[in-house]
Amino acid sequence: MKTDLPVLQCGNCEPLKAGFHAATLGLCAIMGLYNAAAWLSRRQRHLAFNAVIYTALTLWEQRHVAHHLAELHKGHEPVDLPAVVTEETTATVVAELAA
């Protein structure tokens, strides 16, 4: 089965994808902090395991968010600022046009 959904292509719908990964990043961070705090309180092995897993997932999701933000900024090249017009420049242009 092959699907050609535009959202699955790199460069398409990047704000949407970044938003989903950012939400997942936030959830993983909160769950990791909760499990770490619970482990410090109760010292149950599964809480330590969960804290480690959620910390790893937080790092993983951070990379996804960074990738999608980089894709967003990829097409936006810096634009040169317009030249500052001074009295000397104006006089030079007027003299060239008059000649």
Using alpha carbons, list the distances in angstroms from residue 1 to 4, 5, 7, 90. Answer: 10, 12, 17, 66
Amino acid at 95: A
Within a domain: 74: yes
Neighbours of 60 (CB within 10 A): 13
**Domain count of the chain?**
1
The per-residue pLDDT of the chain, averaged, comes to 87
* Structural domain harbouring 26: 6-98
The verdict on residue 1 lying in a domain is: no
- Region 1-28: mean pLDDT is 89
pTM of the model: 0.69
In-domain check, residue 92: yes
Q: Is the pLDDT of residue 45 over 80?
A: yes
